[in-house]
Amino acid sequence: MRVALGVAYDGTRFHGFQAQQPGIATIQGELERAIGQVANEAVRVTCAGRTDARVHATHQVVHFDTNAARPLRAWIYGVNANLPTSVSITWSRAVNDDFSARFSAISRRYLYLIDVSELRHALFANAITRDRRHHLDPDLMGEAGQALVGEHDFSSFRSAHCQSRSPVRTINRLTVTRRGDVVALDIAANAFLHHMVRNVAGVLMDIGAGEQPKDWTRDLLKARDRTVASVTAPPEGLYLIDVNYPPMHALPTGPALPRLLSLLDL
């Protein structure tokens, strides 16, 4: 039996999603331990996107195979009972054996939140990236970001340690809005390179602060050189908020952006 799960987590204390050596806390490690207790057997989970250390998710998707016959509710309530409070299962579905949380996905969507207030908020230290320039122009950031929409070589926006064979990705949508003292970068693509969202955020933040021209995004695409772009923006404030699959899989989608921001108290 193959089961798909929706997962939400606060990534603050974790070293990313992917399991590592014993003693290092990861989302995958916690999930496999908790699911294994309910299944009474060892399981291996596959995720839609391997988030980095201190990155959060409101709608990660994973799948696993099991010989255990359990009601779908058990994969929610039973697994949640064995997870730390910073990780939770939000839904469960039985899926066909050819479904893959990773390879069946047709797009991923991330939200990057930037605090531009003059005074930092004590409760949001790990939830939002703080930019001390305080004057980011969301309209300018959004206009500059449109050059990135479509299929491009994103070599200037990938980590030096990225292991993907191709730097080509397709960004389907990119918007930048402001809500109070929070600037939100909302970006969806067929897939992302390592650190790609954080590198896009770093570039757009420099443009929004007036430190680089609006056309810099076009120049960086042409350069295909990571060393000429901005520093990688911090992981705090980055959320995986949705993963889309073909309709035949009938899986839930992530919450609408206004509702999500309400859940985050923004």
Let me know if 52 is a catalytic residue: yes
- Type of residue at 137: D
Instruction: Please state, in angstroms and rounded to a whole number, the distance separating the CA atoms of residues 134 and 210.
Output: 12
Q: Which residue of the set 52, 115, 131, 206 is catalytic?
A: 52
Angstrom CA distances, 192 to 39, 97, 109, 126, stand at: 32, 25, 9, 23
- Are 220 and 148 spatial neighbours (Cβ–Cβ below 8 Å)? no
- The residues annotated with a catalytic role in the active site are 52
